[in-house]
Amino acid sequence: MRAIIQRVSSASVAVDGNVCGSIDQGFLILVGFTHTDTRAECDKMAKKISAMRIFSDENDKINLSLSDVDGQILCISQFTLYADCSHGNRPAFINAMQPHMADELYGYFCDTLSKTFHVEKGIFGADMKVTLVNDGPFTISLEY
């Protein structure tokens, strides 16, 4: 399981010109799954993201968590995080989980995060247009 976490001032996702998810301050999370991923990886990733302290405190120190700033999450499924570009110039996606299984884990991951945070999400498998204001910029890559 791979996730790219971007600290944002705002973010939204649209499908066919219609906004289906939008947040203010918080995290934009791009998440992808590989063949061996299970709910256990989702639980570990959700726990790590929930505890990450990447917001500035009153002394401008990176010391506050998403909960501390009453932040929100926009979570987007992104199978291309498992692109393999080691041979040639066209990426291969053989390491990405099959869509029906990835959709189930994506739903579980979002549901897990939504137990603690307000979570908006994209539409799995859709052609999505994501807009964000990256705060910092501050971007972190995680893998389990």
- What domains are there in the chain, each with its CATH number? 2-143 (3.50.80.10)
Whole-prediction pTM: 0.96
The whole-number pLDDT of residue 11 equals 98
Q: Is 80 a catalytic residue?
A: yes
Q: Is 79 a catalytic residue?
A: yes
Q: Is 139 a catalytic residue?
A: no
The whole-number pLDDT of residue 89 equals 94
Task: Report the helix count and the strand count for the chain, using DSSP H and E.
Answer: 2, 8
| Catalytic site residue from 38, 80, 98, 131 | 80
Determine phi and psi for 104, rounding to 5 degrees: -65, -45
| Catalytic site residue from 33, 55, 79, 109 | 79
Contact 8, 25 (CB under 8 A): yes
The whole-number pLDDT of residue 47 equals 98
pLDDT band for position 57 (cuts 50, 70, 90): very high
Q: Which helix (H) or strand (E) holds 46?
A: helix 39-51
pLDDT band for position 23 (cuts 50, 70, 90): very high
Contact 72, 25 (CB under 8 A): yes
The token pair that represents 19 in the structure block = 């906004």
| Catalytic site residue from 27, 55, 72, 78 | 78
